[in-house]
């Protein structure tokens, strides 16, 4: 197990360099970063040239990348368009996004798995049909439509929530945005759990558990759920990474100053440092989340052993 | 080890003052309501088992032998399964009239079941110790620690080497024979009155089959349990069973004490089964096989269900369902325990 973890961690190194290089090149293609600094007006050519020299933008791209990586390892992620260090932006943005992700994951686990178990056990029942239809609606409607609709109805029309989240973004203000962020994954978790439960319900070991005279509750929680949740846990684990980076739309709609918001600003202002810095951290989060899922998999299913 | 002549050493019957047979199945019917129609899996089965007795239920796949067992255990999928009529008396009480909770308490504690494929029948993600201990924890309220100690005892009992070291292993870490021993241990855990073994040796190789059957017979004798052995292996039956019920298309077509059935079958289907056993003295000859296929349970042939495959079928067999009647000697003396559901049983047994 230990050797497996070390191997996986070592595998992350090339992935990390590959991913950052790719992002670096892509951001370079985006356009002239100096133009962004001057806002909407045309830059003075002399100032532009001077700024280029100052930021090292006159050098070839590979040299820029090496300089950037060199700085990265000393903890210097560069400065954002407003002169703030990117690390400071991260310190502000990540706690907010982590809170949002926690809310979203909790919704996925509590609502998604509960609905999945109910529908899986009652397949063909009206409850099952209704939930299935609802998940289909959620899956087919784009998330920004859901988000804007919820904001319009709950926030503006009925005034149940504040339409925009305050900069501190405490947990209670993140409930509705978290639900919106979780909606698509929640529908997936419901369907995944449902299929898994319905399939395992007829498994021989469940029949054995019934034949042992165990109460129905115990059969479901200890025997049926334990096996059925393995694929679901895998999905939710991988989703942690996806939710953290994929909150751009939700964070924009509810004006949450998290990772997605900063990334969006970085892209709009053509600020290489912000975009590459944030994406690099997200890549790391994603890799670690995946490693955790793989390790969890071995804990949940003893037939899987890593050597 | 002989397991047939055990009447002399039978200990006193355990529990209850009920005197009749331990389990009695009366006119049991089971149907499955499917999209294509109603599949009649069991059509009026009667049999009984006493304490310490082994009943072998023999038949092809789809003859209803497993479904009958599942109905006794109360683990049929309902729906689509349905029991339109019949009684299953355990110590004189009809289990079909009991509440779910009453039946649950009988399952595992009074009647236990051993399944065919131990690998898929054991939970892959729980250790065998946990699965064995669960019996004690749920039915007797033992603590986790005590339950594990009992699980180790059980594993010793069914002769699993190094039980203590292996108690926290998972089913996939055991060999096929050892896994089946764990299934047996689980069924034995609470010393039930009756064990139903549904093809317990089918998934095992021949040498292990013999070991597992010997173990089962030995434990059965020790605890004086009733045993219903469901199988399609005539070789297994001959060694351990006291009496045999042969099933075809959801009905019992012949019932007899074990050795008499082998000597003189009273039904053409039984004869066909016996003739299709490979024999050394007929080496080189073509092996006999019963013609045709088992009937479609959605439309069982009219009259005797076996008539399309029977070499002796007449017009009578197409119209009249033969009842299960007692079989007698040629001079009319009774043959105890023998019954046949063939219009021409006389010709078959004495012919």
> Across the interface, do B77 and A202 touch by the CB < 8 Å criterion?
yes
Q: What is the tens place of the pLDDT at every residue in B16-38?
A: 556 778 888 888 999 888 888 88
B6 touches A at CB < 8 Å: no
Q: Which residues of A touch B75 (CB under 8 A)?
A: 207, 210-211
Low-confidence ranges of chain A (pLDDT < 50): none
Q: What is the tens place of the pLDDT at every residue in A167-177?
A: 777 777 788 88
> Across the interface, do B134 and A227 touch by the CB < 8 Å criterion?
no
B125 vs A211, A213, A227: nearest CB: A227
Residue A292 has phi, psi (to 5 degrees) of -60, -40
Cα of B144 to nearest chain A Cα, Å:
15
Give the domain ranges of chain A.
86-300
Residue A38: per-residue pLDDT: 64
- Which element (helix H / strand E) includes B34? strand B23-34
Residue B232: per-residue pLDDT: 80
Q: Which residues contact B121 (CB under 8 A, 6 or more apart)?
A: A204, A205, A207, A208, B115, B183
Q: Which residues of B touch A211 (CB under 8 A)?
A: 73, 75, 107-108, 112-113, 115
B125 vs A204, A209, A301: nearest CB: A301
Residue A86: per-residue pLDDT: 82
Substitution target in A125, A204, A212 with the highest count of B β-carbons within 10 Å is: A212
Cα of A9 to nearest chain B Cα, Å:
27
Q: Which residues of A touch B138 (CB under 8 A)?
A: 212-215, 218
Task: Locate the chain B residue with the closest alpha carbon to A304.
Answer: B125
Cα of B121 to nearest chain A Cα, Å:
4
> Across the interface, do B138 and A205 touch by the CB < 8 Å criterion?
no
B120 touches A at CB < 8 Å: yes
Substitution target in A125, A202, A208, A299 with the highest count of B β-carbons within 10 Å is: A208
Q: Which residues contact A150 (CB under 8 A, 6 or more apart)?
A: A176, A179, A180
Q: What is the tens place of the pLDDT at every residue in B265-307?
A: 888 888 888 888 887 787 778 888 888 888 888 888 888 888 8
For B18-241, give the CATH class. Answer: alpha beta
ipTM above 0.95, yes or no: no
B109 vs A208, A213, A303: nearest CB: A213
Cα of B4 to nearest chain A Cα, Å:
29
Domain with CATH 3.40.50.300 in chain B: 18-241
Residue B326: per-residue pLDDT: 86
A212 vs B77, B135, B172: nearest CB: B135
Residue B2: per-residue pLDDT: 44
Cα of A102 to nearest chain B Cα, Å:
28
> Across the interface, do B125 and A215 touch by the CB < 8 Å criterion?
no
B297 touches A at CB < 8 Å: no
CATH code given to domain A86-300: 1.10.3720.10
> Across the interface, do A207 and B123 touch by the CB < 8 Å criterion?
no
Low-confidence ranges of chain B (pLDDT < 50): 1-13
Q: Whole-model pTM?
A: 0.79
Range 151-180 of B in CB contact (< 8 A) with A? 170, 172
């Amino acid at each position: 197990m230990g050797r497996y973890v070390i191997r996986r961690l070592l595998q992350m190194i090339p992935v990390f360099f590959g991913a950052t290089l790719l992002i670096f090149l892509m951001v370079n293609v985006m356009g002239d970063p100096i133009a962004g600094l001057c806002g909407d007006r045309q830059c003075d050519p002399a100032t532009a040239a001077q700024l280029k020299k100052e930021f090292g933008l006159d050098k070839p791209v590979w040299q820029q990348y090496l300089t950037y990586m060199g700085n990265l390892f000393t903890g210097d992620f560069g400065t954002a368009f407003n002169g703030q260090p990117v690390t400071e932006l991260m310190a502000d943005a990540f706690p907010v996004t982590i809170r949002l992700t926690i809310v979203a994951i909790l919704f996925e686990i509590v609502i998604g798995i509960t609905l999945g178990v109910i529908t899986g056990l009652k397949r063909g029942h009206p409850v099952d049909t209704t939930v299935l239809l609802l998940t289909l609606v959620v899956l087919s409607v784009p998330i920004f439509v859901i988000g804007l609709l919820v904001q319009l109805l709950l926030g503006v029309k009925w005034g149940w929530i504040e339409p925009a989240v305050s900069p501190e973004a405490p947990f209670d203000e993140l409930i509705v945005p978290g639900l919106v962020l979780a909606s698509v994954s929640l529908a997936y978790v419901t369907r995944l759990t449902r299929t898994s439960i319905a399939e395992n319900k007829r498994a021989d070991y469940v029949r054995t558990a019934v034949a042992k005279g165990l109460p129905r509750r115990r059969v479901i929680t200890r025997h049926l759920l334990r096996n059925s949740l393995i694929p679901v846990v895998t999905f939710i684990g991988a989703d942690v990474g996806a939710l953290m980076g994929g909150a751009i739309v939700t964070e924009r709609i509810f004006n949450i100053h998290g990772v997605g918001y900063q990334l969006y600003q970085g892209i709009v202002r053509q600020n290489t440092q912000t975009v590459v810095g944030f994406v690099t951290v997200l890549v790391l989060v994603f890799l670690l989340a995946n490693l955790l899922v793989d390790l969890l998999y071995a804990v949940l299913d003893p037939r899987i052993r890593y050597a | 080890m002989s397991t047939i002549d055990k009447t002399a050493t039978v200990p006193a019957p355990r529990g209850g003052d009920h005197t009749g047979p331990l389990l009695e199945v009366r006119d049991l019917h089971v149907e499955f309501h499917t999209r294509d129609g109603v599949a009649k899996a069991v059509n009026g089965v009667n049999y009984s088992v006493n304490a310490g007795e082994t009943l072998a239920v023999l038949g092809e796949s789809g003859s209803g032998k497993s479904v009958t067992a599942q109905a006794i255990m109360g683990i049929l999928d309902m729906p689509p399964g349905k029991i339109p009529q019949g009684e299953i008396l355990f110590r004189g009480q009809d289990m079909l009239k009991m509440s779910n909770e009453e039946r649950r308490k009988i399952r595992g504690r009074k009647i236990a079941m051993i399944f065919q494929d131990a690998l898929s029948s054991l939970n892959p993600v729980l250790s065998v110790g946990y699965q064995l201990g669960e019996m004690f924890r749920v039915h007797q309220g033992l603590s986790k620690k005590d339950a594990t100690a009992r699980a180790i005892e059980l594993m010793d009992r069914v002769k699993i080497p190094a039980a203590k070291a292996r108690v926290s292993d998972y089913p996939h870490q055991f060999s096929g024979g050892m896994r089946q021993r764990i299934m047996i241990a689980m069924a034995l855990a609470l010393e039930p009155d009756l064990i139903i073994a549904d093809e317990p040796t089918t998934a095992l190789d021949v040498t292990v089959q013999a070991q597992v059957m010997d173990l089962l017979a030995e434990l059965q004798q020790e605890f004086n349990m009733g045993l219903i052995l469901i199988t399609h292996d005539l070789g297994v039956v001959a060694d351990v069973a006291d009496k045999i019920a042969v099933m075809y298309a959801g009905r019992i077509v012949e019932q007899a004490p074990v050795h008499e059935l082998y000597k003189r079958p009273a039904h053409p289907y039984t004869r066909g089964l016996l003739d299709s056993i490979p024999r050394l003295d007929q080496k080189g000859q073509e092996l006999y096989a019963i013609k045709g296929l088992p009937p479609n349970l959605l439309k069982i042939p009219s009259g005797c269900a076996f008539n399309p495959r029977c070499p002796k079928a007449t017009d009578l067999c197409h119209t009249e369902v033969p009842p299960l009647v007692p079989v007698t000697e040629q001079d009319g003396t009774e043959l105890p325990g023998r019954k046949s559901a063939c219009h021409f049983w006389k010709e078959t047994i004495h012919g």
